[in-house]
Amino acid sequence: MSEINKQEIEEKVIEVLKTCYDPEIPVDIFELGLIYEIAIDDEARVKIKMTLTSPACPVAGSLPPEVEMKVLGVPEVKDAKIEMVWSPPWDKDMMSDAAKVKLGMY
């Protein structure tokens, strides 16, 4: 069995995450800073710790399964699990500079 390239898988996972949007904010969830951790094990199983802009976010029920399905669509990924976390709470300082520019926060 060939050894997996975790960095290559992570890059592809990030590409996919950048296609997921909070419908109320025109910035993808990766640039928004909603992804706290991407862990890839030796079997190419991906575990993502993510949050939402608030626990009452209207997509709390639909966004995590969407993220999971898109990550599972990466050919190298054998399994994907999304863990919702609320600590630390998300705030606008977690956004990338690109997201802040897009939202006119600079």
What does the domain layout of the chain look like in residue ranges?
Answer: 6-95
Percent of the chain beyond pLDDT 90? 81
Candidate from 20-24, 37-41, 71-75 with smallest mean pLDDT: 20-24
What homologous superfamily does CATH list for 6-95?
Fe-S cluster assembly (FSCA) (3.30.300.130)
Write out the two tokens for 42. Answer: 């030796």
Residue 2 has pLDDT above 70, yes or no: no
Amino acid at position 17, single letter: L
CA distances from 82 to 37, 43, 51, 66, 72 (A): 10, 17, 10, 10, 11
- Confidence bin at 58 (pLDDT 50/70/90): confident
